[in-house]
Structure 1
Amino acid sequence: MTVVAEVVRSGFVESVHHGVVAFTDRPGVGETGVPFFPRSSNKPLQTVGMLRHGLVPREETDLAMISASHDGEPFHVERVRGILGAAGLGLEALGCPAQLPFGEAPRNAWLRNGGSAEPILMNCSGKHAGMLATCVINGWPLASYLDPRHPLQVALAEAVSELAGEPIAAAGVDGCGAPVLAISPVALARSFQRLVEAAPGTQERRVADAMRAHPELVAGTDSPDTVLMGKVPGLLMKSGADGVVAAAVPGAGGIAIKISDGAARARVPVLLEALRRLGVEAPPLDEPVLGGGLRVGEVRAAW
């Protein structure tokens, strides 16, 4: 594995992060053709699969929510509730585990108000709401919608494989209980480029446009995904657990990054460097290293 980021504390390199960086139009870093689990970076591809199988969102904004790993802010929760309600479903239909809000601020606020863990607060609840709505439209069973053999999951796997341009290498169970599908980093980069460069009005472009128009739904108000999509024209970005992020800019290319040790802190510096190598102007977005509450270093790209 190649070193892609280093942690500098008080001028001294104290640790490094290894990883893979894949591009669609040039050689990458590391074993870009070896399959891995993109985790939540697969969500936009799954949303395309839902549209292909009849999902009718109340409005295009819902597509951003269905593709999200949200922070559990009040507006996230209400939109998930609305997606379920429009399908004639209650919160009890959700098959994701009960959790507290993923974001620190909404979590603290929820706890101060006496709240406890609930499935709708889980950061994948938007995806699950979309899956359930797709099942309702097709008359598919609801109780077993997370089974890899369920018609829904078979359909979504076909969509992911088609968009990636390669077969699914393996299937596992993600943290939310839904199937997670393994593809290569270069295939993930290719699939994101297909989303942003698809013709207007296609299912692929609808998902990309909804996410870029409403980045605050994709993650959270202050998340890197939200901030960068708001500042870089045309950027589509979706982070995933265990150090994954995928991105694309129309006319520039696609990117997929996997940090080997799963460290989320290394993703943004590496992504910013990857965007610059594609000729995309990206704003600085610090990953500071703190000591005693003060900034004493940084995480920086090193490949």
Structure 2
Amino acid sequence: MPSPAMPASPPLTAPAGAVHAESEASASAARLPRHEPLAVQTRDGLVESIHYGSLIATAPDGGILFSAGEPQAAFYPRSSLKPLQAVALVRAGLDLPADLLALTAASHSGAAEHRDGAARILEMHGLTDTALENSTDLPYGVLEREEWLRAGGRATQITQNCSGKHAAMAATCIINGWPVQGYLDPSHPLQQLVAETVAELTGEEPAGISTDGCGTPLFALTLVGMARAFGRLAAAEPLEDNISIHDSRSAAPMSPEAAVAHAMRRHPAMVAGEGRDVTELMRRMPGLLAKDGFEGVQAVGLPDGRAVVIKISDGGDRARMPVTVRALEALDVDTAPLAGIATGAVLGGGKPVGLLQAADFLPSVPVNDAN
């Protein structure tokens, strides 16, 4: 017996947002960057996972030393942009002790020293945490988050990993007589200065502007531009005729670039936190400047002005450090102190059965330079 006829179904329609997302995805498909394998995880000799991405290494003059993937493709640097934002704040008159300046450039774990540091920045400028306009979150570090929750803590702006930067932004508004309320608006004088500083340090205009997770304006740049900026910061020296702050151990004035780099190197635990790979990287390699960013971003500057910036295409965090160490090796940097963070053990039943390590990517012929 045939089944009874079913009533005609109305045509399916998608929400407007979904239609927009689908059309945007279709339009961007042709623009996908040409990433290459950068890291590989094996389990008992079989390749289990591959992390694709792009990277660039630049010379002190900004020339390209080697690359992989498509380093000229626009990407969002995420929190690796914070040292550049910190330079803009110092140029605008922000004058903090080195530990608090390092916190200004931090994606901190939310330990007591980080929370107290953000509060100190606010208090020094007559502000409270009501001035903060960043998003709320629990501490980023696993141990710090668990301790905070055991004590009855909740998600706040101070515990959010960007609170040092936001406290410093609010403080810079007080210093310059700018409105504190609305300091995240791209048209605010503070954000205009940040945009100008980022363009100057990277040597390029952003390909686009978005909003970072914490609420600050976020610029689409290239790996090449970010590498040039980090090389410039890492090699910066005190300049007698520049805007300056003072090293607590010396009367010599420092340029904003040198001040930020010095603070981060001297206080690596304020830049990230205990057990974080970026903190360990700067501790084990004195003179090296490093900052990570969400979605698989890692930037490194060397004291001689060379730099490496990496973007892992899938946004995975675990591949950053193996690829970073491999790139430093390609620059003839002695990476022996980094042996403990150059690879990751793959466990089976609690025992090592494989390895996460950098792929055998070889430095390619330098890509077409933008100079």
In 2, Cα distance between equivalents of 1:85 and 1:183: 34
The structure with more radius of gyration = 2
Aligned-pair distance for 1:288? 2.4
Q: Which one-letter code corresponds to 1:250 in the other structure? A: P
In the other structure, the counterpart of 1:92 is: 130
Aligned match for 1:12, one of 46, 52, 72: 46
In the other structure, the counterpart of 2:353 is: 296
- Which consecutive residues of structure 1, in runs of 5 or more, have no partner in the other structure? none
Q: Residue 183 of structure 1 aligns to a residue in which SS? A: strand
Q: Which one-letter code corresponds to 2:77 in the other structure? A: P
Q: Which one-letter code corresponds to 2:43 in the other structure? A: R
- Which consecutive residues of structure 2, in runs of 5 or more, have no partner in the other structure? 1-34, 60-64, 239-253, 362-371
Q: Which one-letter code corresponds to 1:290 in the other structure? A: L
Q: Is the 8 A contact 1:72 1:103 kept in 2?
A: yes
Alpha-carbon deviations, 1:156-180, whole Å to 9, x = none?
0100110001112211000001111
Question: Deviating runs (4+, > 4 A) in structure 1?
Answer: none
Cα-Cα RMSD = 1.1
Q: Which one-letter code corresponds to 2:74 in the other structure? A: P
Aligned match for 2:229, one of 180, 188, 191: 191
Alpha-carbon deviations, 1:84-131, whole Å to 9, x = none?
111111011111111111000011111111111111000011110111
In the other structure, the counterpart of 2:171 is: 133
Q: Is the 8 A contact 2:234 2:305 kept in 1?
A: no
Equivalent positions of 1:1-303 (< 5 A) are 1-25=35-59, 26-57=65-96, 59-200=97-238, 201-251=254-304, 253-282=306-335, 283-284=338-339, 285=341, 286-302=343-359, 303=361
In 1, Cα distance between equivalents of 2:57 and 2:318: 21
Q: Is the 8 A contact 1:101 1:107 kept in 2?
A: yes
- Structure-1-length-normalised TM-score: 0.97
Percent pairwise identity:
47
In 1, Cα distance between equivalents of 2:358 and 2:126: 48
- Structure-2-length-normalised TM-score: 0.80
In 1, Cα distance between equivalents of 2:167 and 2:347: 38
Aligned-pair distance for 1:43? 0.3
Number of residue pairs matched by the alignment: 302
In 1, Cα distance between equivalents of 2:287 and 2:329: 14
Q: Is the 8 A contact 2:98 2:267 kept in 1?
A: no
Aligned-pair distance for 1:252? 6.1
